[in-house]
Amino acid sequence: MEYRSLGSTGLQVSVIGLGALEVGRPWGIRGEGDTGQPPSESEAIEFLNHVLDSGINFIDTAAAYWTSEERIGKALSSRRDEFILATKWGEWCDESGSVYDYSPEATWKFLEESLRKLRTDVIDVYQIHSAPLEVIQRGDALAEMQKAREQGKVRFLGCSCGEREALAAIEYGGFDTIQISYSLLDLTMEERVLPAASNSGVGVIVKDGLAAGRLTQKVQRLGEEHTELKHRVEVFRDLAGVWGMSLPEMALRFVRANPAVSTIIVGTRSRIHLAENLRAAEGASLSEEQMATLRRYLSAPQEA
């Protein structure tokens, strides 16, 4: 496993982390034999311990991920010193949908509940979930998070956000990390956000490195309205096959190649998929020739 610096925090994180959404909440592109339902509690506990045993030391969850925080707390509280724990606040979700509250008061309500469920005294990275631009600009949520840090309840502060929000968080300061989407199917963050984060010492947590399952075999489960997407992914799959790797492995190696990226959190509840993801963290990165080939395709997808 490769470990990288999480910005200027001093933390060393596994380049492949676990996005723990699927551990506690239904998710994913559904298909025959795959209902998208989370594992049972006993299966989740076994899986989470296997994650740590595999060399992953960064786990990201959220209050909105149903039973994810509780299961992490139950499974791993006795191994708390073996991993870096990140969670998110501001969104609450159940079967009826999501409710958002980014008020200063909510900062503490979410925090105390997360600490209780996670069975820990401190959260390593505390993040605003899907942070709106106005919340970052207003600064009152960040001020409360800073108070929580002063009290020793959290160590570092971050936000999960889009491009404008990420740039604002970096510009205004106070955030140690940003969590952003970045993949072969979404290069939005490459031009401005990743260089800005690197220059400012802000750690980059990448989500959706597999484009929410679209850079896996699951893309074939999508309907006819996604024909163009399927064609693009087929080209990627063919390239990966020529290079002797799976499509997910190639996709994650592409993200890993950017030095601004600290860790790629990949959501899964499957040991098989986890092993495939971990192969992207082992061995050599994509060669310059392979990266150039991918770049040519990405710059002119209509010619593929």
pLDDT at 267: 87
pLDDT at 23: 93
- Nearest Cα neighbor of 98 from 71, 130, 72, 68 is 130
pLDDT at 304: 36
Category of 28 on φ-ψ map: left (φ > 0), alpha (ψ -120 to 50) or beta: left
Low-confidence ranges of the chain (pLDDT < 70): 28-35, 300-304
Domains along the sequence of the chain with CATH: 3-210+255-285 (3.20.20.100)
pLDDT at 32: 58
pLDDT digits (tens, 9 = 90+) for 227-253: 888 888 999 999 999 999 999 999 999
In terms of residues, how long is the chain? 304
pLDDT at 301: 47
* Alpha carbons 13 and 176: distance in angstroms, whole number: 14
pLDDT at 302: 45
pLDDT digits (tens, 9 = 90+) for 14-42: 999 999 999 988 776 666 566 678 889 99
pTM of the model: 0.94
With a CB cutoff of 8 Å and minimum separation 6, the contacts of 303 are: none
